[in-house]
């Protein structure tokens, strides 16, 4: 059965991150992507020019609409929009018995802020519902560090891309301790817009398809790295990934 993945996140008009990156990732990994859009952004490879939060009631209506008809096998949470939406989403998710991947988006790749202090404070409840939380290193620090995140009972995927050095180290922890780590050579590129969104959606797709946390994370890291290498080189700033991995799927179909 095709895994049904509900994405709760913001829209990126440039197509590199957010809902757009999530849909492409879920589709490429064999899932069916459904969305609850939390915010509309005017955004490109150079930065975020405008943000409009979607009313909380409309976000929840989107979630209820797909849950009651199509069903959900896993949830991915990205940009949440507002503290009120974070609290309302947490209320709804407490009734869903499916894996949840929470990417605590605070700042875009360009450096633009996407969550205020009140919204970040509301992340506590979302971490309590999450199967896996996937902060980068600055986000992990803002959340209080490794022990503070793990205290919520979630797995922690600590992304190492913001560290210095030629190698990136990603670490996976369960609530009881470290499980695994992955090391990869850092690519000399600016085409990294949407890496966090892509990774979290890839993990959610794996979990929704019945993979273990370790296997889902490992496949997600591999997908992101190949997508970086396949980047189309668009825009004048931090360019989008190549989610199609350099392949036109339609061209592969005969008949």
**Active-site residue list:** 159, 192, 194-197
Would you say 75 and 98 are in contact if contact means Cβ atoms under 8 Å apart? yes
- Tracing tokens 């966090």 back to the chain, one arrives at 196
163: Cβ–Cβ under 8 A, 6 or more apart, which residues? 137, 169
Q: Taking Cα atoms as reference points, which of 163, 231, 247, 138 lies closest to residue 193?
A: 231
Classified as helix, coil or strand, 146 is helix
Classified as helix, coil or strand, 97 is coil
Instruction: Tell me the C-alpha distance between 161 and 155, whole Å.
Output: 19
Continuous H helices in 70-212: 83-93, 117-129, 137-142, 146-150, 195-208
């Amino acid at each position: 059965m095709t895994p049904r993945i509900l994405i709760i996140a913001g829209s990126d008009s440039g197509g590199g991150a957010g809902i757009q990156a999530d849909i492409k990732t879920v589709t490429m990994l064999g899932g069916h992507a459904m969305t609850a859009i939390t915010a509309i952004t005017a955004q490109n490879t150079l930065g975020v020019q405008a943000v409009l939060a979607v009313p909380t009631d409309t976000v929840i209506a989107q979630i209820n609409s797909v849950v009651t008809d199509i069903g959900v096998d896993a949830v991915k949470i990205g940009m949440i929009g507002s503290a009120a939406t974070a609290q309302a989403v947490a209320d709804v998710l407490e009734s869903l018995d499916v894996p949840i991947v929470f990417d605590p988006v605070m700042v875009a790749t360009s450096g633009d802020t996407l969550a205020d202090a009140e919204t970040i404070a509301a992340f506590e409840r979302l971490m309590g519902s999450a199967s896996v939380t996937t902060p980068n290193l600055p986000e992990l620090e803002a959340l209080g560090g490794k022990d503070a995140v793990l205290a919520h009972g979630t797995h922690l995927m600590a992304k190492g891309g913001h560290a210095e050095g030629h190698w990136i180290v990603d670490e996976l922890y369960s609530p009881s301790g470290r499980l695994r780590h992955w090391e990869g050579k850092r690519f000399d590129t600016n085409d990294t817009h949407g890496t966090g969104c892509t990774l979290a959606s890839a993990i959610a797709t794996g979990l929704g398809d019945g993979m273990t946390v370790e296997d889902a994370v490992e496949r997600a890291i591999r997908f992101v790295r190949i997508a970086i290498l396949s980047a189309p080189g668009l825009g004048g700033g931090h360019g989008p990934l190549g989610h199609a991995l350099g392949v036109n799927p339609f061209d592969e179909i005969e008949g």
